[in-house]
Structure 1
Amino acid sequence: MEIIVYDRNLYRLGTIENHTSLQWHRKYYECGTFELHAPATEDNIRLLQPGNVIRPKGKDEAAVIRGDQTEEESTLVNEIVRNGYFLPIYFNDRLTGPMFTFNGTCEDAMRYMINRMATVPLLEVAPGIGDATKITFQATYKNVLTYLSKIARYCELGFRVVPDFKGKKMTFETYKGIDRTTKQGTKPRVIFSESYNNLNRAKHTYSDETAKTKIVVGGAGDGADRIYVTVGGGTGFDLREEFLDAKDINKDDFSTNAEYLEALRIRGEQYKAENAVIENIEAEVEAEVNFIYGTDYDLGDIVTVEKAKWNKVLNLRITELCEVYEYGGMYVVPTFGDALPTTINWDN
C-alpha cells in the first residue's frame, strides 16, 4: 500500500512505498492512532517529520505524525518508526473555554464546543445527521477532544475529521453505524463465528464492576427541600443503587421546573449508561472471508458475534478496528463492544 505524505496545510510532499508495517487503528468514539515502520532512508526521514500528515492511498482518513518517534540503526536493523493520531487530535489542543451549561442534542453540543473554542486552521463543521439524543452538562476550560469522546460514547455516535486535499480543508462530521445484526431484517446481516470461519483468536471480556441499576439524582436545595429524581430501578439481588450529586446543574438556567427536572433525569440516564454491564469480544478477522470489510461492514456497525464454545451470541457495535498491513498482506482486528469498562467523568 502506498502512503502519501502531506504538510500540515495539506500540500503533498511525496510518497512512501517501502514501509514494512502499518497499523491503522480506527476508533468510533475516540481519536484513532497509527504506527508505521519503514527503512531509515534519507527520503523517509525527510518526509516523516513530526507535524506532517499521512494518508494510505484510497482512504478518506488521515493522521498526524505526533508523539513518540524513533530511528534505529544497528547490524540487525535500520528502521524508522513513526506514531501518531488521526486528525481529531487537533481538538486535544483546545479547551472548551469559560463556564457554560449545555442542554440540547449531542450533535449540537459537539458543534457548540467546536465553534466556541480557539480556531483550528482549515477546519469546517458539517451539519448534523439529525440524531435527537439529548444531553445536559456543564464545563469550564475542559479538553475538547475528551468531551467529544464523552458525548459520542453517551449517544453512540461516531465522529471524524475528513480531509479534502484538493480544497485544502478539513471537515468535522458525525456519523452512525448501521445495524447489521440477525435481529433486524432490512439490511444484509453480518455474523462473525467459527462456523463462518471468520473469527480467530477471540477474547471475551465481561465486567459488572461499576454496574448500577438505580440512580438517585440530587439537585438543588438542602435537607427536606432538596430536589431528587430517580432513574432506573431493580429489586433483590439485581438492585444496585447509587446517589449522584447534580448540584452543578443550576436551576436558574432553566425557564420552568419541568425543564430542570428533565435535565436531572438526563444526567441520571447518562450516569446509568456509563455504569452499565460491559461485554466485548476482540478477535482477529480475515478481511475478505464471507463478509468484505469496508463493503459489508465497517467501523461503528452493529453485528452479531457467535462463539459456540463459550455459549455466546452477542449483538455488538464495532467500536475499534485495527487494519494491519504486513508482508504484503492485510488483516483486521475489530473490537466488538466497548474496549474497557468506561466511566465518563463529567468533572474532567
Structure 2
Amino acid sequence: MEIRIYDSELDLLGVIENQVSFIWTRRYNEAGDFEIHVPITERNRNLLRVGNLVYKTGFTDAGVIEYIILEESNEKNEITVKGRFLVSYMDRRVIKGTHSYIGNAELIMRQLLSEDTEAIPRVVLGSLNGFTDEISFQCTYKNLLTYMSKIAKSFSWGFRFRPDFNSKQIIFEIYKGTDKSITQGVNNRVIFSEMYDNLNSAIYTENSQGFKTKVYVGGQGEGSARTWVEVGVGEGLDLREDTVNASDISSEDLTQAQYEAALTQRGLEYLESNGFVSSFEYETQPDVNFTYRKDYDLGDIVTVKKDSWDIAVNMRITAVQEIYENGLMTVTPTLGNPLSETIDWEDK
C-alpha cells in the first residue's frame, strides 16, 4: 500500500515511508477520518504538514491533515498524524442568510454547496443521479457540513469529495449503496456469518432510550394561535411522545399547506433520528468469501448472522474502518447507527 501526500493545490509532494500503522475510517454520510503513525525522519516531517492531503492509491477518498504530534522518548520516536476526509472542507463554510428549501433534496444539496455558501477552491459538482426525494426545511447561518449530513441521513444517501489529481479538481458526489442482503434477489448476496468463516468478532447493540413514535411539532405563534401538527403513531406502551419546537420555520412566503408540510418534515426527521437504534460491528478479513470494495462496499446493505446469539440482520454499512499493521489489513464494518443521534433542525 502506497500513501501519497499532496498539497492543497493537488500537486504531488511525495510518498511517506515506513508507516508503523495506518487507520482509515470511511463514513457514509459524515466526514471520515484517519490516523497515521510513522518514524520521525526528515522526509516524513517535510511531507506531513497541516493542510496537506493524504491519499491511498486506488481509492476514491482523500484526507486532509489537521493534527500532528511529534513524540521522542526511550521507547518511541514517532509522528502521529490525524485528520478528516476532504468533505470536512464543508465544515469551514456557513450557509449565509435565512433560506427556505422546498423541493428535490439532491438539487438542494448541490445548491447549498454551489450557491448559498462561499466557494471551496477546486470543488465542482459531479453528475446528477436523478433522485426524486423531496424535502422541506429552513435554516439561518448554519454549518454546511452539518446540514449536508442531515439531508443525506434523511434519505440513506452517502456523499463525498473525490479528488481528481489530473484535472486538479475535487468532485462533489452523492451516491446510494446497493442492497445485497439475503432478502433481495436482484444483486449478488453478501452474508457474514460463522458458517462462512468471515465473522472474526462481533458487537451487537440495541438502544431504545431515545426512541419516539409520535411528536407534536409547534410552529410560529403563541398560545392557542400557535400552529401545531402531529406526526407519527402509537398507542399504549408502544406510544412514545415528544414535542418539537419548530418556531424557527417562518411561514412568510409559504402557503398554509406548504408551512404545515415544512413542520411535518421536521417531525419526520425527528422521528427518523430518534428511532429504535441497533447496530452490528464486526471484524472480517478483506478477501474471505467476499472481497471488500468488489463484492461489498460502504453504503451497501448486507446480511450478518450470529447463530449463537440467534441474531440475523440486514443493515446498511454506515462506516468501514481499515487497519494496516505489520503488513496485514483488517476491515471492521459498522452496520446501522451505533449511537442514538438527535438531528436538530432548529435555528437558535
2:158 aligns with 158
1:2-41 alignment, distance < 5 Å:
2-41=2-41
**CA deviation string 1:5-38 (max 9, x = no partner):** 1111000111124211110110001001000111
Which residue does 1:258 correspond to in 2?
Answer: 257
Residue matched to 2:219:
219
Give 4+ residue runs of structure 1 displaced > 6 Å after superposition.
none
User: 1:245 maps to which residue?
Assistant: 245
173-182 or 120-129, which deviates more: 120-129
1:187 pairs with 2:187: yes
User: Residue type of the partner of 1:229?
Assistant: V
Find the residue that maps to 1:182 and give its secondary structure: coil
CA deviations over 1:48-98 (Å, ceiling 9, x no partner): 11111111122121111113x111222322211111111111111111111
Equivalent position of 2:85 in the other structure: 86
CA distance in 2, matches of 1:199, 1:109: 40
1:225 Cα deviation after fit: 4.2
In the alignment, what sits opposite 1:296?
Answer: 295
Q: Distance in 2 between matches of 1:173 and 1:274?
A: 23
Does structure 1 residue 77 correspond to structure 2 residue 76? Answer: yes
**What per-residue deviation string (whole Å, max 9, x for no partner) do you get for residues 119-158 of structure 1?**
1111111243122222222222211111111111112110
With the length of structure 2 as denominator, give the TM-score of the two structures: 0.95
Instruction: Give the C-alpha shift of residue 160 in structure 1.
Output: 0.1
- Counterpart AA for 1:118: E
Structure 1 residue 224, shift from structure 2 partner: 4.0
Residue-by-residue CA offset, 1:215-273 (whole Å, 9 max, x unaligned): 2223344444443322221111111122223232222332x332222222222111111
Q: In structure 2, what is the equivalent of residue 199 of structure 1?
A: 199
Counterpart AA for 2:264: R
Tell whether the 8 Å contact from 1:319 to 1:339 is kept in structure 2 after alignment. Answer: no
CA distance in 2, matches of 1:135, 1:244: 18
1:120-135 to 2 correspondences below 5 Å: 120-135=120-135
Judged with a 3 Å threshold, the aligned counterparts in structure 2 of structure 1 residues 267 and 279 are, in CA distance, closer, same or farther, namely same
Alignment match, 1:45: 45
- Quick one: which amino acid aligns to residue 139 of structure 1? C
CA distance, structure 2, for counterparts of residue 208 and residue 105 of structure 1: 32
Separation (CA, whole Å) in 2 of partners of 1:7 and 1:267: 41
Name the SS for the 2:257 alignment partner.
helix
Matched, 1:145 2:145: yes
**How far does the alpha carbon of each residue in 1:163-200 deviate from its partner, in whole angstroms, 9 at most, with x for none?**
01010110111000111111111001111111111112
2:342 equivalent to 1:323? no
Partner of 1:338: 337
| TM-score, L = length of structure 1 | 0.95
SS in 1 for 2:202: strand
What is the letter of the counterpart of residue 164 of structure 1? D
Instruction: Tell me, in whole angstroms, the C-alpha distance in 1 between the residues paired with 2:74 and 2:244.
Output: 60
Q: d(CA) in 2 for partners of 1:270 and 1:118?
A: 27
For the 8 Å contact 1:135–1:267, the answer to whether it is kept is: no
Asked if structure 1 preserves the Cα contact closer than 8 Å seen for 2:245 and 2:346, the reply is no
Aligned mates of 1:323, 1:7 — CA distance in 2 = 24
Preserved contact between residue 266 and residue 345 of structure 2 (Cα < 8 Å): no
Mapped to 2, the partners of 1:301 and 1:284 lie a distance apart of: 16
Whether contact under 8 Å (2:136, 2:261) holds in the other structure is: no
Q: Is the 8 A contact 1:87 1:161 kept in 2?
A: yes
Does structure 1 conserve the Cα–Cα contact (< 8 Å) formed by 2:246 and 2:346? no
Distance 1:247 1:222 in 2: 10
Deviations 1:98-124 (A, max 9, x none): 111212232222212212211111111
Residue pair 2:48, 2:65 contacting (<8 A) in 1 also? yes
**In the aligned structure 1, how far is the partner of 2:253 from the partner of 2:17?**
57
| Secondary structure, counterpart of 1:148 in structure 2 | helix
Aligned mates of 2:226, 2:76 — CA distance in 1: 67
Structure 1 spans left out of the alignment, 5+ residues: none
**1:212 maps to amino acid:** K
The Cα of 1:281 is off from its aligned counterpart by: 0.9
Cα distance in 2 between the residues matched to 1:295 and 1:94: 34
Does the CA contact (< 8 Å) of 2:101 and 2:137 recur in 1?
yes
Match of 2:267 in 1: 268
- Where does the alignment leave 5 or more consecutive residues of structure 2 unmatched? none
Other structure's SS at 1:141 match: strand
Q: Which amino acid aligns with 1:151?
A: I
